[in-house]
Amino acid sequence: MKYLGIDFGSKRVGVAVSDDDGKMAFPYSVISNSEKLLKEIKEIIKKEKIEQIIIGESKNFQGEPNKIQASVEDFKKKLEEKLNIKVWFEPEFMTSSQAEHVQGKTEMHDASAAAIILQSFLDKNQHVI
């Protein structure tokens, strides 16, 4: 099964894809968070033959939802309704900082953060899915 990972941000959305077997995550692209976002995600799903989506669940140090989490939940609902695809939450914490620490602040660090989120999900669910 092939998965799409999403690191949702108010300005940019990082995207990652898994290999065909759903074992490894790879940075894919960074998309502007605009009115075209859903359409662009739909195109990636079609092109890459994605079966499920993993989106980062954003919480603070106390484990409470960050201010962006409401937008993440709205986007998850739109993905499920408009694209008829299963979307899972994966807890994320400081993934953008992790990606930036490893590779520096590049135009692809949001995609790398999405890959970290996706890989975390794949590792945890390797024998379940």
Q: What does the DSSP 8-state code read for residue 44?
A: H
Exposed / middle / buried, residue 11 (Cβ in 10 Å: 0-12, 13-18, 19+): exposed
pTM score above 0.85: yes
Cα distances from 120 to residues 37, 39, 67, 81, 84, in angstroms, run: 24, 26, 23, 25, 24
**Residues 49-71 pLDDT 10s:** 999 999 999 877 777 778 889 99
User: Which residue bears the tokens 């976002």?
Assistant: 37
Determine the Cα–Cα distance for residues 124 and 126; give it in Å rounded to an integer: 6
pLDDT at 105: 65
C-beta separation of 4 from 48 below 8 A = yes
Question: Residue 53: which CATH number?
Answer: 3.30.420.140
- Going across the sheet that includes 25-32, the strands are 25-32, 12-18, 3-8, 52-58, 86-92
pLDDT digits (tens, 9 = 90+) for 71-114: 999 999 999 999 999 999 998 865 555 545 455 566 677 898 89
Domain limits for position 62: 3-124
Residue 72 is which amino acid?
A: V
* Angstrom distance (rounded) from CA 35 to CA 38: 7
Total structural domains in the chain?
Answer: 1
The total of other beta-carbon atoms located within 10 Å of residue 122's CB is: 22
Mean pLDDT of the residues in the chain: 88
Decide if 129 is inside a domain.
no
Domain for residue 70, yes or no? yes
Indicate the length of the chain as a whole number.
129
